[in-house]
Homo-oligomer: A and B are copies of this chain.
Amino acid sequence: MPNSSSCFSKMLSVYVDLTDEEHEGIARLEKTERTIGRDEMVFTEGDVAEELYIVKSGWLCSFRNLEDGQRQVVQLHHPGDMCGYHELMLRQRTSSMVALVDSVLCPLPKSALTKLGRETPRIALLIEAIVSRELVAIVDTLQAIARSQALERVLHLLLFLYHRLAVINPLVVTTGNFRLPMTQSLIGDMLGLTNVSVSVAMKELERMGFITRERRTVTFIELEKAKERVDFKDRFQDADLSFIDTA
């Protein structure tokens, strides 16, 4: 399989030019594959955390089951993402991970990072940078939850997904639409809402002319107005990794 077909390489290449050696290093990481069917669990809260994953294809979701029966969705994972690194320092999984659609993962042991650091230090740094950006994305979500109401929360999520998916699929930009394989309950569990308020919010977003919906496909009609409405910042732009080469 040619290197160029690696989603992870593709994601990294958005930000730096990879050398042949680095391409090979990544290809080695993706040697093994694991196929996950829809609704299948990759791991469960409390499991011993030994691996990280690179998402080759599909959609996955990390979540926690709370004591009172509620659920908190922590993160969504798309092709090209690294995931499962929340427990890099911890013995046990702090969340469970489930596939929302049939997916393919490349598992790698935590120690692969040690190796990576020695052999291709630039990649190791890049991963560090990407983790830190993921942190910014989660803070964005936190802010949306803490400081805006249902409508804005839902709109923020849709905008985030639009921009995230556009990175690996330019079609999203040209058509303005993307598939959203999440139930409204799941969206609610991500945003601290109930399925009811998600339903109301999405209807209202449609009525206001921001989006249209067709089954599970969402189309943005007024992207710019939408971004303005929630003061959306695209963290996938504005990258600057020049520090990696100057040492």
Interface string of A2-43 (1 = CB under 8 A from B): 000000000000010000000000000000000000000000
Q: Report chain B residues within 8 Å CB of A243.
A: 109-111, 113-114
Q: Are A247 and B111 in contact, with the CB atoms below 8 A?
A: yes
Interface membership of A176, Cβ < 8 A = no
A171 interface contact, C-beta 8 A: no
Q: How many residues of A contact B (CB 8 A)?
A: 59
A124 close to chain B: CB less than 8 A: yes
The residue of chain B having its C-beta at the shortest distance from the C-beta of A240 within the complex is: B91
Inter-chain contact B90/A136, CB cutoff 8 Å? yes
Pair B135/A67 contact, Cβ less than 8 Å: no
Task: Give residues of chain A (56-100) contacting chain B, Cβ–Cβ below 8 Å.
Answer: 64, 66-67, 70, 72, 74, 85-92, 94-95
- Say if the beta carbon of A129 comes within 8 Å of chain B: yes
A182 beta carbon closer than 8 Å to chain B: no
Q: Which residues of B contact A136 (CB under 8 A)?
A: 86-87, 90, 94
Residues of chain B within 8 A (CB-CB) of A72 are 142-143, 146-147
Contact for A90 among B88, B121, B139, B240, CB less than 8 A: B240
A140, chain B: closest CB distance, angstroms = 8
Contact B121 A85 (CB under 8 A): no
Closest 3 CB pairs of A and B: A146-B192, A110-B243, A89-B129
